[in-house]
Chain A
């Protein structure tokens, strides 16, 4: 075999292996999505949105409690996490810049991003649930917000730094005070990127189960009281999926499907916004 033929052969083998690997990796993803679609859509019906949880064996049982609870938890976490994340990112990009404090915050936030989420749940359990003496939606939302903040902080920091320095200088040269430069020029220039960061941050926490186990706990009944334990789709899904009852398992599939579609939707919207921003 000539050297050239040998090289062509090696090339073909390498290409074959990498293609196969990609197919296996994506295969599992589509397998999961496929099963989820089939079982999930099968389990979907109108009752799910109308009724709350009930003991196994009842006809009128649904996921209303978990859907509303999930929206409240994620919504509250967004209200807490987004302003903090954006403001902290603004500090890093516009004020801290290359100072030691800014670098420290960036490093810590990177570590926070990879911290196991159950650790954050345990932390919130210690500082909020224990002193208050009971589980609450507040505790769950705060745990989710803590996970969300480093994601939004870093994207905001990165996106603001992409706004050219000369644009800031041009605004200063017209006599703009610093806060106006940030609000009028820097935020405006980076708004697609910031919005994407927010959506990805929300999507990230929407699928979290572990931090909620110790904080908002779970409940089989509808509630909007933020001082009580609150049901969520993720924990409900976990409980229903490990139960031995067929009807609960069906609801678990429905919860998994709804949650996955919600997160998939947020991710797609986030990417579309970023793409539209780049195209301009």
Chain B
């Protein structure tokens, strides 16, 4: 049976009995997942390829709804309501729960317009407010110093690591409550990876973070809680140190010691 710790602190999200099946798939990709996500903490999701960690991550901002035919059941509680409700306002939800992708996704526009994009969607037109918030977001994403003199330049001229920090700036500019990271460093070099990891740790003061990673060292470095997933089950959720040092489940131990995966 799964071993899920009780989180004493406040939770940002609460997943209960979540089942998920992709369109046309014979079997569900996630089976009765129940998982608390602590507020203002970093929760890492680890597990071998195909275990369902990215599927779970993309359920938090209802990304799956972009592709019709997927079915899901259960409950994800956020700010006192079930966000899986068909009546949930997805546009509002996605401004509250932002996402950073595996590959940097700089839009084909200037650096400034990239960061301002989410705010403009919310109807903010005031120039000085936009300027202030773009600068602040870029500073928070540790990118301001590198780009402050070329905000009007095409964002695609930045390096991969810079683009990923730009995406983080763009996501935090709309002041979300939760940030979802989907293997944010798998396309980056070690130095850029270090920068992103440092950012993740800094950002948890303001947002709750869920990060999917293939890299167990990364989970150990950045997260407070770690969930180990296998074949669509959440096998174990615990404090990161405890999970890596004294895992409660045999399967977890086998995975973190490299017996499979």
Q: Do A and B bind each other?
A: yes
Smallest Cβ distance from B212 to chain A, in angstroms? 14
- Asked whether any CB of chain B lies closer than 8 Å to the CB of A169, the reply is yes
Tell me the bound Cα distance from A188 to B174 in angstroms: 22
Type the 1/0 row for A149-188, where 1 means its CB is closer than 8 Å to any CB of B.
0000000000000001011111111111100100011001
CB–CB A176/B121 < 8 A: yes
- Asked whether any CB of chain A lies closer than 8 Å to the CB of B225, the reply is no
Residues of B within 8 Å of A172, CB to CB, are 63, 66, 94
CB–CB A166/B103 < 8 A: yes
CB–CB B107/A185 < 8 A: yes
- Asked whether any CB of chain B lies closer than 8 Å to the CB of A75, the reply is no
Specify which of B63, B95, B105 lies most central, judged by the most chain A CB atoms within 10 Å of its CB: B105
CB–CB A170/B99 < 8 A: yes
| Size range of the chain A interface in the assembly | 10 to 19
CB–CB A170/B91 < 8 A: no
- Asked whether any CB of chain A lies closer than 8 Å to the CB of B98, the reply is yes
CB–CB A175/B99 < 8 A: no
CB–CB A167/B118 < 8 A: no
Tell me the bound Cα distance from A171 to B174 in angstroms: 13
CB–CB B91/A177 < 8 A: yes
Tell me the bound Cα distance from A180 to B154 in angstroms: 20
Residues of A within 8 Å of B99, CB to CB, are 169-170, 173
Across the interface, name the chain A residue whose C-beta is closest to B101. Answer: A166
CB-based A-B contact count at 8 angstroms: 64
Residues of A within 8 Å of B102, CB to CB, are 166
- Asked whether any CB of chain B lies closer than 8 Å to the CB of A96, the reply is no
- Asked whether any CB of chain B lies closer than 8 Å to the CB of A279, the reply is no
Residues of A within 8 Å of B107, CB to CB, are 167, 170-171, 184-185, 188
CB–CB B63/A174 < 8 A: no
- Asked whether any CB of chain B lies closer than 8 Å to the CB of A100, the reply is no
Tell me the bound Cα distance from A167 to B156 in angstroms: 12
Q: Which of B116-149 contact A (CB under 8 A)?
A: 117-118, 121-122
Top-7 shortest CB links A-B: A170-B105, A173-B99, A175-B95, A174-B118, A175-B94, A189-B108, A175-B91
A residues with CB within 8 A of B: 164, 166-177, 180, 184-185, 188-189, 280
| Known A176-B91, A280-B156; 19 more pairs at CB < 8 Å | A166-B105, A167-B105, A167-B107, A168-B66, A169-B99, A169-B101, A170-B105, A173-B63, A173-B94, A173-B99, A173-B101, A174-B95, A174-B117, A174-B121, A174-B170, A175-B94, A175-B121, A176-B117, A177-B91
In the complex, 21 of the A-B residue pairs with CB atoms within 8 angstroms, ordered by the A residue number, are A167-B105, A168-B66, A169-B101, A169-B105, A171-B107, A172-B66, A173-B61, A173-B98, A173-B101, A173-B171, A174-B121, A175-B93, A175-B94, A175-B95, A176-B117, A176-B121, A184-B109, A185-B108, A188-B108, A189-B108, A280-B154
